[in-house]
Amino acid sequence: MVRSSVFLAGVMGLLAMGAGPGSAAADDTGPAKAPPTTNPADLKELRPGILPGYLPREQAIDSLALLGPPPEAGSAQQARDEAARIAALKQRDTPRGKVAARDAVYSFPRAVDAFSCTMGVAISETTTPHLNMLLRRTLTDAGLATYKAKNSYNRLRPYVVANDNGTCFAAHEERLRKDGSYPSGHAAFGWAWALILTEALPSQANAIIQRGYDFGQSRVICGYHWQSDVNAGRLVGAAVVAQLHANPDFMAQLAEAKKEIAAARASGAAKPDCALDHAAATAATAVAGR
């Protein structure tokens, strides 16, 4: 279950929703503004496959100021991180481990698979273009917000320190050796997505928040991050979501995404493939019932 300290970060983000000057998708005193584009070609990629976020880079959350430093070697906090790492390894060769490997994919179109089953909607550029664009751009906003702290602390990743059992994808390991572990960018955008999708589909709030929490835990299972990296990433993600609610383009796209979700769920068309999620949930229930 979601721990109270982590859930608080989510609640803080949810409380901020609608509180800023961007809480209205359009200005009622003027002509209606066209919704933001759903065509990736209209936006200049930051690098191949990565679209710009909604927030200007100079407005990015200062993660170095927001977060304290990561646990020091030999500290009680680092001992807890190591215990969490060892416990998580036991899930690597289970259906939950396969979900964790899927969660590691942040390139589109596959990245949205992480939340499609929880939403009950097959998210894609063709079936839900506004929702798809919303997730693409907020991934950038939340992920990039972690880098001031990442680059400053340059914490070694668990698989580098432990040098055992590798990660879910060996092909990623060499590149990530040079990328700071604290805070987790995946946990930041996964938690941001959970908060945003909860607003878009409040009837599924509990399941979406749990999926967002599990998405972060997947980073520990795969050996890419320490638990404290993930916890810190969630805090960054919540802060970014609060900031996004003052951005009119984000709010307009969110409004369009809500319509798409409602229409897709009502039609029952293009259901996502949830076999892996069901297998992981069944296995978890069986273990809990022992």
CA distance 222 to 167: 5
CA distance 52 to 45: 6
Identify whether 225 is a catalytic site residue: yes
Polymer length in residues for the chain: 290
Helix (H) or strand (E) holding 219: helix 205-221
219, 234, 245, 277: which is the annotated catalytic residue? Answer: 219
137, 186, 211, 234: which is the annotated catalytic residue? Answer: 186
φ/ψ bin of 135: left (φ > 0), alpha (ψ from -120 to 50), beta (otherwise): alpha
103, 113, 214, 229: which is the annotated catalytic residue? Answer: 229
Identify whether 130 is a catalytic site residue: no
Contact assessment for residue 63 and residue 147, using Cβ atoms and an 8 Å cutoff: yes
Look-up of token digits 């609608």? 18
Identify whether 219 is a catalytic site residue: yes
Among 66, 237, 84, 224, residue whose Cα is nearest residue 156: 224
Identify whether 229 is a catalytic site residue: yes
Angle between helices 205-221 and 4-16 (to 10 degrees): 130
What would the two tokens of residue 119 be? 């939403």
155, 211, 225, 234: which is the annotated catalytic residue? Answer: 225
Among 139, 180, 190, residue whose Cα is nearest residue 158: 180
Q: Which residues are catalytic?
A: 186, 219, 225, 229
